[in-house]
Structure 1
Amino acid sequence: MIWIGLVALVAAAICGFLARVASVRARVMESTETLPARDLSALHEAAVEAAGKGHFRYRSEIVGEARPPENGALRSELAGLECVWHRHRITRKYEETYRDSEGNRKRRTRTQVLSEHSSSTAFFVRDATGQVVIHPGEHEVVGAEKVLDRFDAHSRGGHRLEIGPLSLDLGGGDGTIGFQREEWLVRPGSPFYVHGEATDADGGLAVTAPAEGGLFIMSVKSEKELLRRENNKVLGFGIGTAVTAVAGAVLLVLGIIY
Structure 2
Amino acid sequence: MIWVGLVGLVVAACCAFLARLANTRARVMERTETVPVQELRALHEAAATAAGPGHFRYRCEVVGQARPHKDGVPRSELEGLECVWHRHRITRKYEESYRDGSGNRRRRTRTEVVSEHRSPTAFFVEDATGRMVIRPGDEDFIGAEKVLDRFDPHARDGNRLTIGPLSLRLGGGSGTLGYRREEWIVRPGSRCYVHGEAGDAGGGLALGAPAEGGVFVLSVKSEEELLRAENNRVLGYGIGSGLAALAGLVLVVLGIIR
Which TM-score band applies after superposition, normalised by the shorter structure?
A: over 0.9
Give secondary structure in 1 for the equivalent of 2:173: coil
Corresponding position of 1:91: 91
AA of the residue aligned to 1:207: L
Query: Structure 1: how far apart are the matches of 2:138 and 2:69?
Result: 17
Query: Structure 2: how far apart are the matches of 1:248 and 1:117?
Result: 40
Give secondary structure in 1 for the equivalent of 2:174: coil
Taking structure 2 as the reference length, the TM-score comes to: 0.98
Corresponding position of 1:229: 229
AA of the residue aligned to 2:133: V
Q: Aligned pair in 2 of structure 1 residues 221, 172: CA closer, same or farther (>3 Å)?
A: closer
Corresponding position of 2:189: 189
1:75-224 alignment, distance < 5 Å:
75-171=75-171, 173-224=173-224
Give secondary structure in 2 for the equivalent of 1:241: helix
AA of the residue aligned to 1:51: A
Give secondary structure in 2 for the equivalent of 1:82: coil
Q: Aligned pair in 2 of structure 1 residues 79, 172: CA closer, same or farther (>3 Å)?
A: closer
Corresponding position of 1:244: 244
Corresponding position of 1:4: 4
Query: Structure 1: how far apart are the matches of 2:119 and 2:164?
Result: 16
Once the 2 structures are TM-superposed, how far is the Cα of residue 189 of structure 1 from its aligned partner?
0.1
Query: Structure 2: how far apart are the matches of 1:15 and 1:204?
Result: 41
Once the 2 structures are TM-superposed, how far is the Cα of residue 146 of structure 1 from its aligned partner?
0.2
Tell me which stretches of 4 or more aligned residues in structure 1 moved more than 6 Å: none
Taking structure 1 as the reference length, the TM-score comes to: 0.98
Corresponding position of 2:69: 69
Once the 2 structures are TM-superposed, how far is the Cα of residue 36 of structure 1 from its aligned partner?
0.4
The range that moved more, 95-104 or 190-199, is 95-104
The range that moved more, 95-104 or 46-55, is 95-104
Aligned residues: 258
Query: Structure 1: how far apart are the matches of 2:249 and 2:105?
Result: 41
Once the 2 structures are TM-superposed, how far is the Cα of residue 256 of structure 1 from its aligned partner?
1.0
Q: Deviations over 1:169-217 (max 9, x none)?
A: 1125211111100000000000100000000000000001011110000
AA of the residue aligned to 1:238: G
> Which runs of 5 or more residues in structure 1 are unaligned?
none
Corresponding position of 2:22: 22
Q: Deviations over 1:52-92 (max 9, x none)?
A: 00000000000001000112111000000000000000111
Q: Deviations over 1:80-125 (max 9, x none)?
A: 0000000000111111111112111111111111100011010000
Give secondary structure in 2 for the equivalent of 1:178: strand
Give secondary structure in 2 for the equivalent of 1:86: strand
Query: Structure 1: how far apart are the matches of 2:147 and 2:202?
Result: 33
- Residue 48 in 1 paired to residue 48 in 2? yes
> Which runs of 5 or more residues in structure 2 are unaligned?
none
Could you tell me the percent identity over the aligned residues? 71
